[in-house]
Amino acid sequence: MERKRVNSSKIRSIGYDEKSMVLEVEMTNGQVFQYSKVYPEVHRRFMNAPNPTAFFEDKIAEEYPAKRV
């Protein structure tokens, strides 16, 4: 999955596959997590968030189960 770099203290890059609705988040420490059943609108809001770390912690980390890859 191709990821795009973001300007964040904890997140290095974000990827998304709309067909499978899987969001992939690469942390600055190199860990990569996948989140399933993430709607395209959530991904769009995440990518446009003024503070990606806060959006991730509030809207993704607590709402979707993570799988480390």
Instruction: Report d(CA 9, CA 51) in Å as an integer.
Output: 9
- Count CA within 13 A, CB hemisphere, residue 11: 24
Instruction: Report d(CA 23, CA 42) in Å as an integer.
Output: 9
Q: What is the pLDDT of residues 49-61, one digit of tens each?
A: 999 999 999 999 9
Q: State the pTM of this model.
A: 0.94
List, edge to edge, every strand of the sheet that includes 32-35: 3-5, 11-17, 22-27, 32-35, 66-68
What was the pLDDT predicted at 48?
96
Q: What is the pLDDT of residues 24-47, one digit of tens each?
A: 999 999 999 999 999 999 999 999
25: which 2 tokens?
A: 């988040």
